[in-house]
Structure 1
Amino acid sequence: MIRAEEILHPRPEGLYCPLGDFFIDPIRPVERALITHAHADHARAGHGKVLASRQTLEIMAIRYGEDFARETQAAEGEIALGDVSASFHPAGHILGSCQIRLLPKSGPRIVVSGDYSRRPNPVCAPFTPLECEVFITEATFGLPVFRHPDPAFEIAKLLRSMEEFPDRHHLIGGYALGKTQRLIALLRAAGYDAPIGLHGALIRLCQYHISQGIDLGHLVRVDDPSGPRLVIAPPSAFSTPWVQRFKDPVIGYASGWMGIRARARQRRVELPLVISDHVDWPELTGTLQEIAPQEVWVTHGTEDGVLRWCALNQLPAKPLRLVGYEDEPE
């Protein structure tokens, strides 16, 4: 029987499948790419052919232009690619995000999870556990110290701050794709029905989510302090003159990394909100126990912690040592 390493292995461009002659989430332009989701550290422009979920393709077109690839194909069902079939399944990370399961004609089934989350997310389909012999997991928060709180608790913290400081704008940093829309949906679920201000860079992707049937309520583009008291902006906006238009704002930032106080201080964040679209330590290890693969491959993150856990649980594991994957570029 063919070994897993012969089905999929790392190359400088990314994970490569010689049986189908394609890459998964390549960081350099390639002839054929399968894309798990549309964050810019996984989805690059310039490939020859791109296979991804319909929503991922549409978001890539918004971000990069309609000609981001020479040819595109929306993933539906099992797709034959040479001597392997690929299928796409929800990852629970952002809208359109998918795990990719590879089914060779002979050999182990491999699931490339991409970035994934096990928390309920109102703006995307939930993670689907898949049977497989090899499971490739991210390790963004792959240490026992990372235990994310309930997002509803963090939203309540934001609303309390707005009550405590009613005369100060609350400017909350959130990535344009996924985090912004999830923040808005969480606020609406908590009963906040007032208009929410948006930095101009966030408008188009929010409009796309609305077009996909996701109710985000009343949103207003904000260019000055005359708009809503609650404003969401990309993190990069806080280092531009845009933020200087607001007098003494409360600066917040929504990220799993806000659980590290030093990171919050580094960014001069007064209101850190620990809201992540990645699995934390209990969710990561719980997923491995639930899926029960024969082998785990670990990528982009603190791989050593996950490898140690696997060793203690007698689960064969190895690091992929892929480079080029970071947080969503701003």
Structure 2
Amino acid sequence: MTPAQTTAATLLQTRPEGLYCPMGDFYIDPTRPVQRALITHGHADHARAGHGAVMATAQTLDIMAIRYGADFTQSRQPAAGPQQIGDVAVSFHPAGHILGSAQIAISHKSIGTAVVTGDYSRSPNPACAPFEPVPCDILVTEATFALPVFRHPDPGDEIARLLASVAAFPDRAHLIGTYALGKAQRLIMLLRAAGWDAPIYIHGALQKLCDYHVTQGIPLGDLRAATITRGQKRDFAGQIVLAPPSAFAATWAQRFPDPVICFASGWMQVRARARQRGVELPLVISDHVDWPDLTRTITELNPAETWVTHGREDAIIRWCALQGRTARPLRLLGYEEEET
């Protein structure tokens, strides 16, 4: 370990529970129950129940309560401005991923600043606050789509493809597989921006989180329950229905008239994945940075060290080496591949 790595390790370390800050005695997005956890956002592979104390944005705390119940932790603290925890200062900054998502900056006057991005996106997302670049000495970045092949198209163009399909097949329902938190609400906002003022039908698994977004000032328009009673099947012809991908494995999807199975995910750029899922209309819409935005972020922030986690590490580590940048993989365990 070099002297620079030794200094950095006093600020952040990897442990079986996850990323640990010894000078503040807390973990960031731990995969096992710990005494004190700082959480970047509400997706299940980052936000787990059972910690002694949790600090997160107020929206992430609300989302965790919706998903896990009010007693998901013994103590909760909303992040509001810089906080001193032990020997480090901690602050939360918008990540542009989903509602309430944040990067966590950890600073020590003699060591410098580390920023843990969690999941983040630099594409405009009307359902959450935009990504905020935070200067840092150590950047801990996700690498979900860290291959040069991943270059996400304009989401507006993908929505245009969807609406063209709806117009071309007015007798069929379009069923879109979408992650219940973040992606569903973003799709609704994109549809509204594209001029779709008709009702959007949602699976019951999306209802509570959509309702919460509305309370936070996110206008989702006319949402209706995607339930069919006898004799109503034809009422869904030409309609758009959002549901979690798991719903398509059941008979639920076949209740709709000749459904066009769609799926909204950055992984839909991989045709084999679309075929495996039986997707007729893949929509390449992601809430993560693609290769150009990942490399742009590293270049703009120009950290002394880049630590890579959550995904495909080798290519970005190699890119950093070719750019003369210090980088290393963290290989944290317990983080699932999100359908985003």
Normalised by the length of structure 2, the TM-score is 0.95
Q: Which residue of 1 aligns with 2:292?
A: 282
The residue identity in structure 2 corresponding to 1:193 is D
1:236 equivalent to 2:233? Answer: no
Q: Structure 1: how far apart are the matches of 2:297 and 2:38?
A: 23
Q: 1:318 aligns with which of 294, 317, 328?
A: 328
Q: Which residue of 1 aligns with 2:111?
A: 107
Aligned length: 330
Structure 2 counterpart of 1:173: 177
- Separation of aligned partners in 2, 1:274 and 1:328: 14
Q: Which residue of 1 aligns with 2:133?
A: 129
Q: Secondary structure at the match of 1:109?
A: strand
Q: Please give the residue correspondences for 1:118-267 in structure 2 after superposition, counting only pairs within 5 Å.
A: 118-224=122-228, 225=233, 226-227=235-236, 229-267=239-277
SS in structure 1 at match of 2:307: strand
Whether the 8 Å CA contact 2:137–2:304 is kept in 1: the answer is yes
Distance 2:226 2:69 in 1: 25
What is the aligned-residue RMSD (CA, Å)?
1.3
Does the 8 Å CA contact 1:101/1:111 hold for their aligned counterparts? yes
Is this contact kept in 1: 2:173–2:236, CA < 8 A? Answer: no
Pairing partner for 1:296 from 298, 302, 306:
306
CA distance in 1, matches of 2:105, 2:43: 19
Alignment check: 8 A CA contact 1:138 1:300 kept: yes
For 1:18, give the aligned amino acid: P
Instruction: Give distance in 2, aligned partners of 1:82 and 1:291.
Output: 26
Separation in 1, partners of 2:191, 2:265: 16
The alpha carbon displacement at 1:246 in A equals: 1.7
The SS at the match of 1:10 is strand
- Could you tell me which runs of 5 or more consecutive residues in structure 2 were left unpaired when the two chains were aligned: none
Look up the match of 2:65: 61
**In 1, are the aligned partners of 2:122 and 2:131 still within 8 Å (CA)?**
yes
1:270 alignment counterpart: 280
1:31 and 2:35 aligned = yes
CA deviation string 1:74-130 (max 9, x = no partner): 001111111111100000000000000001242021000000000000000000001
Supply the AA of the counterpart residue of 2:278. R
1:59-85: CA deviations, max 9, x gaps? Answer: 000000000000000001111111111
Opposite residue 117 of structure 1, the aligned amino acid is S
2:115/2:140 contact within 8 Å kept: yes
Give the whole-Å Cα distance in 1 for the aligned partners of 2:99 and 2:327.
29
Q: Is the 8 A contact 1:83 1:105 kept in 2?
A: no
What CA distance in whole angstroms lies between the structure 2 residues aligned with 1:29 and 1:293? 31
What is the DSSP-based 3-state SS (H/G/I as helix, E as strand, rest coil) of the residue aligned with 1:47? Answer: coil
- Compared CA separation, residues 140 and 328, structure 1 to 2 (3 A): closer
Counterpart of 1:16?
20
Correspondence for 1:45: 49
Deviation for aligned residue 1:295: 0.9
1:89 corresponds, among 93, 97, 111, to: 93
